[in-house]
Amino acid sequence: MTRVPIRYGARPCSLVVCRGCCCGDARKHPGTDHAGQLDRLRAAAAASGGRFAVRTSDCLGVCEHANVVVVQPSTEGRRRGGRAAWVGFALDDDCLDDILAWTEAGGPGLAPPPPALALQLIDPPKN
């Protein structure tokens, strides 16, 4: 995958990591290093030179799919038709590898998700 440069003033691709009532809860998924996942994503964002950002949310409303990460397109990705992609069951290193690879390649609108990650895409909640 090739890196997509971002233009000055453009919003980069971003990851919204759910860490509410179910996501990030060791009682629901005791075999997952929830803090380690978040640390890894934040370290990758810091090392990306501004190509992507990470933030957390208290609850994204799809607890049955915990842990959830939303991959939001960059400004350019949105211009090219990309929309937020909701990833469910983000519980292991392989999933994080795929999320980071997709984000590094530009994310929604600029690159397709890795095939295994595409199988984990879920519908956002209906408001």
Per-10-residue mean pLDDT of the chain, 127 residues long, equals 58 93 86 93 95 93 94 96 97 96 95 97 90
Strand pairing class (69-72; 121-122): unpaired
pLDDT recorded at residue 122: 97
pLDDT recorded at residue 27: 87
- pTM comes to 0.89
pLDDT recorded at residue 65: 94
pLDDT recorded at residue 3: 62
Give yes or no for a contact between 4 and 110, defined as CB atoms under 8 angstroms apart. yes
71 CB-near residues (< 8 Å, 6+ apart) = 13, 14, 15, 84, 85, 87, 99, 102, 103, 107, 108, 113
